Structure 1
């Protein structure tokens, strides 16, 4: 298991999307190392202990850049937060207070309902006076918004928007996206709808003319998932750029993977972290960047 971070690309998606499923929880492959080492010690097997050590080195080699926190070379001038607030969230006001505690300049929300919207507006509008809500996604900003519009990834869904944010550091094209959910079932890892939306989003991003771009939202997949590769090639995950951990965000009670992301182009990643739990099954994700 410790070698999976190096060979996961060899696991095919042709049968139940097993490759993508493995990549969704890839960091947990390292859990096999202490168990293998314990078994080697109990058996007093030098060769097994060496194999466990090699697996540990391989795991660290694959993930050390993400685990280790690099020293920030730039001062941030934009703090962003993204959160799938959950349609069943019974405490939108408390959720908004948790998000505001990060001192954000931008707050992106996914899975926002008509019933909860007034509570979010009441809590967020004072600190972040510029906002747009389209379908089940919304964006609040400290800075003026222009050219706000729906991004059509699937004609039957309204879960994506684009806005231009006039920050002191320049104009940033900000996308707020909630990709379709995935499911693990009898026939494997169901990702078809999500993957179609990824391809369409990649087409949209290919036409983006702003130099500075942020993509905020619930992508329902890990950045390591090969299906997200078109997005990751265009926009760099802030969490991967700054390190300091995996930034696992789902499920909130015991996070196993990072479904919620801040990706950027033309911006400098400075810091990334998760916030405390809210009434959602996702944790909020925050990041600081320089634009």
Structure 2
């Protein structure tokens, strides 16, 4: 007997219609929530793509050209602030429920930590034979006497000041009560509890902005350089105008190369950070007390809301034990300090 085959069925194999007679999806049912997962990966792609330039900037900042306008130096001066990309991406991920933005934030955080993660660790330790403070006191400081008293109260063995200006005699008078030995050359000065010899200017600019002296500590002589590198200017016409500063850095580097003493301390206002490639001539042969023995970035300028560390304590043949910033004075810079083992 012949059985008729319905046109809606295949002659063999399982029935592929549902109860309503409609064909089922030949691929089978999708896993629950798979469409939502797909949407979460598609969301936030624009924000994640916008993060790409920041990640590339962090990873390849050394490839940013320094001419014209010293753009590379400008980027490197504020490179730690690229960390702000991470919370922005995480906020986008939260608002958009975007898995893509989470991954972008993780990548940005990993690259940033590879550059600056060590700065998040407190590297300060006890001990030290010589405490040094350096401060750009600001020639327009409304209270130079108060600033001098605050620096003397820090307990430092050596105090270096930059941008003394018309208040030089005020600093001399107030600091003399604690520091018996002093040398001033132009706009920079050095005050010490220990004897100071050979205090002479270092030629880095058309007028005296640097000095070199030998401090006779109980553990032997230390060459101390106090420098105030020339200022930089940011203008639409010339960009990051750091040419004069870079030239003064090269001159300072020459004096450091000629220094015969094995223990050297270089302090002052560099008008630039140690990340700035244009200052490599000075920083390459020295160690940063803040980077080696500080906590955080130690930003020092501007005092009201510090965004960069342009005031430095660098050493050679000396071991940094701790580094820190002092409370604000009447200056637009914060004083910075370090304890050193000789």
Unaligned runs of 5+ in 2: 1-53
Does the 8 Å contact 1:66/1:239 carry over to 2? no
Cα distance per residue 1:39-84 (max 9 Å; x no partner): 1222222122111011112212211222212253x62011100001
Residue of structure 2 in register with 1:203 after alignment: 254
Does the 8 Å contact 1:3/1:55 carry over to 2? no
Distance (Å, rounded) in 2 between the aligned partners of 1:283 and 1:205: 25
Moved more, 93-102 or 280-289: 93-102
Does the 8 Å contact 2:124/2:295 carry over to 1? no
SS at match of 2:284: helix
TM-score for both structures, normalised by structure 2? 0.82
Residue of structure 2 in register with 1:65 after alignment: 118
Residue of structure 1 in register with 2:239 after alignment: 188
Cα distance per residue 1:169-200 (max 9 Å; x no partner): 21100000000000110121000000011111
TM-score for both structures, normalised by structure 1? 0.96
Does the 8 Å contact 1:98/1:275 carry over to 2? no
Does the 8 Å contact 2:249/2:282 carry over to 1? yes
Structure 1 residues 274 and 162, CA, compared in 2 at 3 Å: closer, same or farther? same
Residue of structure 2 in register with 1:226 after alignment: 277
**Alignment root-mean-square deviation, CA:** 1.2
Unaligned runs of 5+ in 1: none
Distance (Å, rounded) in 1 between the aligned partners of 2:160 and 2:264: 14
Higher RCO by CA contacts (8 Å cutoff, separation 6 or greater): 1
Q: How many residues align?
A: 288
Structure having the higher Rg: 2
2:138 to 86, 109, 119: 86
Does the 8 Å contact 1:217/1:261 carry over to 2? yes
Distance (Å, rounded) in 2 between the aligned partners of 1:199 and 1:42: 50
Pair 1:6 & 2:56 matched: no
Does the 8 Å contact 2:123/2:322 carry over to 1? no
Does the 8 Å contact 1:100/1:124 carry over to 2? yes
Distance (Å, rounded) in 2 between the aligned partners of 1:188 and 1:151: 29
